[in-house]
Amino acid sequence: MTDEQFKALAPYEDLFDKVLHNQPGKYPGRAVVEMMLSVIRTALPRYKTNLNCGTCVKHLIQDAGRMYFGEKKVREESKPQEPVKEEEPKPDKAKKATRKKKAE
């Protein structure tokens, strides 16, 4: 997925999350759905769908979401990470002396 495609899908991250978890989401519009289809077809040229079918559009959005989150995970893993600073062990605190109760 190119940077342009990734940036084009980024505003719809909430929609992808909702649809992937079977929650109702707002229909993004025909132009957005066609853009998602073009992004999917760059990876899967034979991807077929019917944009006049509600279930097919839902599956298309789910597939675009899976591609987006997969690419996001790859990009996060490939970022150079800052070295983790190791914390120095804290000195043990002296235990407070407790009084023992006298047996009667």
Residue 28, burial from CB neighbour count under 10 angstroms (0-12, 13-18, 19+): middle
> Does position 68 have pLDDT exceeding 80, yes or no?
yes
Taking only the tens place, the pLDDT of each residue in 4-56 is 999 999 999 999 999 999 888 889 999 999 999 999 999 999 999 999 999 99
Rounded distance, CA 13 to CA 64, Å? Answer: 10
Domain ranges in the chain?
3-78
Q: Which amino acid is at 46?
A: R
Greatest C-alpha distance within the chain: 89
Q: What are phi and psi of 14, to 5 degrees?
A: -65, -40
